[in-house]
Every structure is written in C-alpha cells, then in structure tokens.
Amino acid sequence: MSGAVGTRAQDDVGGLTVAVLAGGRSSEHDVSLSSGESVRTGLRERGHEVVWVEIARDGVWRHEGEDLTVTPGGGLLGVDVVFPVLHGPFGEDGTVQGLLETLDVAYVGAGVAAAALCMNKVLFKDLMSAANLPQVDYVGVSAERYRRSPSAVLAELGRLGLPVFVKPAHQGSSVGIAKVALHEELDGALAGAFTHDSLVIVEAMAQAVEVECGVLGSPSSEWTAGGPPAVVSEPGEIVLSGEWYDFEAKYAPGGMQLVVPARISPAASARVRELALTAFTATGCEGLARVDFFVDGERVLINELNTMPGFTPTSVYGKLLAASGVPYAELVERLCLLGLERHDQRRQHTY
C-alpha cells in the first residue's frame, strides 16, 4: 500500500454511536441494504454501537419501524457520526450529504460538492479533461437535445466508433447501461438510458484490462506531517465471467473475480495509483473512493470515480483495502473517525 495506514487502536477510539443509513429511493436500494448490513457487522466487531436508519423506496426515513423526523441543527438520534451507505441518486449525489450538513452531524465520505460532481458522469469526465487526465472518448447527451436534434447527436456520436457504451449519467452499479455494436441500436439504447436519467453519457469502448483502485483518506495528523492526503490500495484486476461488467457481474456470486495485485506491469500499476490519488484530490473527495481504470499495456485511462462504493460481501473496495493491509472492520471504523475529524475541523470556521 502507498503510505502508512495508521489506524488508531480501539483503546484510543472509544465506543462510538454510529447511525448506519441504508436503503434509499434509487434502483440500488437492495444493494445499499446489503452494504449497510456489512458495515453494521464491521462496526459492532470493533465495539461500536450501531443505530439502524432505513430509507424506504418512497424516501421515508424509519428507525425501529417508526417514521423519523429531523430538526435542522439537531443532529440525528444523538449519534456521533452517520455512515450513509447509500448508492445512486438521492443518496450518493450530494442530496443526503446536504441534509446531514443541515443537521450538523458528522458523516462518512464525500461532501456535497464532490458527491454531486462524481455522481454526474459527464461533469466528472469534463473535469478530468480540464485537468488533462487520460480517459476514453465520450459524448454527453441531454434528453432535450436529442429530442430536438437527433440527427446532429447521432452524427456526433459517430466519431466514437463502435461499439460504445450508453449510460445514464447519474446511475451506479451498471444500472441502465447498454453496449451498442450496431449504429441502428443507438436510438433504442439512448431511449432506454433516458428512462433512468435526462442526461446520458456515451463512451467509446476500451479494449483493455479493467482495473480498480481503492483510496482511503489519511488523518490530518499524517498528511500535514508530510504524508499523502490519502493512501491508495494495490490495484485489483476485474476478471469477468460474462462479456462486460454489468449489474449481475458486480453482485451475483461468481459474476466476477478480483485478482490482487492486478496482472499489469509495475509501471502501469504505479500510474494507476498515481491517477487514483490525483482524481481523488482533484474532485475534492474525502474519506474514501474507488477509482476505475482501463489498462492497455502501459496506457492507463481513468473510467469512473465512485464516492460510496459497495460494501457488500462481494464488493471490490473492501477486498482491495483488506489485501492492502486494512481489514474490513478497521476500515469502516477509520472512515467514521475521518468523518468526525472533518466535522470538528469545519466547526472551527466562521460562516
């Protein structure tokens, strides 16, 4: 692992009360519940008290079977920190992060701006382009523009070649994605993606190895003393049983195999870790992220950055950090401590 992890001993931490926030309105509701259960187990293993808050598919927050109401500035159920294990829209996109800021409660992960930016695949890639970071060619398409000028849009997409991937801009876990190998399939793929989002991204296909890398924030005492702002895991290689990395491959048993370290050259591995940290800091992320890449020989391309990667038993992020020396229970504890530290630091400012 690049950099020392330096997790604090349990005796130094003391028992925290952590609200695990899971479920949500998005199509990744069930994945979030599974992630939340794993986080709850890990936190209890480290001796922390867990308060379960479930967001129903209709958006209602519930605790112990009762609808939950909150008061601005009043925290959340008296907990020390919130772990919002939410995936997709209405949870990973800055909305819940904004509510938690309003409640004045510490929470795990990216803040409002970084969460919103990274959830929007088009904005994320635009930022990577502005920073001159390597990535696959892409085109962002709004539903309104496609309705008004379909021929112009299809002509623009022609420069990407075939095949391409058509993706809703604000979805995760490969929801709503279609691989298009024939020009006549583009219209149907766009229509399908537009059922999930009014903004769609179309990406050129990369004939390369899929590699993922975990990033874990450093306590300020470490990086202000000259260490990195975050530490980066060994890259892991995604080996698929199917054609591409779809929802089933990500969450069904046997859908994929993670090989750590990835079977890429030492130079490519170093470049993956370098770009993972660059993307993490450029987007303003905090706490954690999983950065996805395509690697073709020595050529490394950034694909996506996920600010709240899956924490299920099959999820890659926890496996990457475990393989890099951070066991799962220590990982979720450290994320809570980073959330608390950020909250304390922000309270020192005058707004």
Active-site residue (options: 93, 222, 286, 292): 292
Which 3 state secondary structure label does DSSP give 222? helix
Active-site residue (options: 25, 40, 46, 290): 290
3-state secondary structure 75-118: CCCCCCEEEECCCCCCCCCCHHHHHHHHHCCEECCCCHHHHHHH
274 is catalytic: no
Rounded to 5 degrees, what are φ and ψ at 17? -110, 120
251 is catalytic: yes
Active-site residue (options: 93, 234, 304, 333): 304
User: What region does 155 belong to: left with phi over 0, alpha with psi -120 to 50, or beta?
Assistant: alpha
Active-site residue (options: 306, 317, 318, 330): 306
28 is catalytic: yes
Report the DSSP pairing between strands 17-23 and 49-55.
parallel
Active-site residue (options: 138, 146, 251, 317): 251
Active-site residue (options: 111, 217, 310, 339): 310
Interacting residues of 3 by C-beta distance below 8 A, sequence separation 6+: 218, 222, 227, 228, 230, 231, 232
2 is catalytic: no
Active-site residue (options: 173, 218, 269, 303): 173
222 is catalytic: no
54 strand-pairing partners: 22, 62
Active-site residue (options: 28, 93, 197, 222): 28
292 strand-pairing partners: 212, 304
- What are the structure tokens assigned to 21, written together? 């926030």
**Sheet harboring 49-55: ordered strands across?**
66-67, 61-63, 49-55, 17-23, 81-84, 106-107
120 is catalytic: no
304 is catalytic: yes
Q: Which residues are catalytic?
A: 28, 173, 251, 290, 292, 304, 306, 310
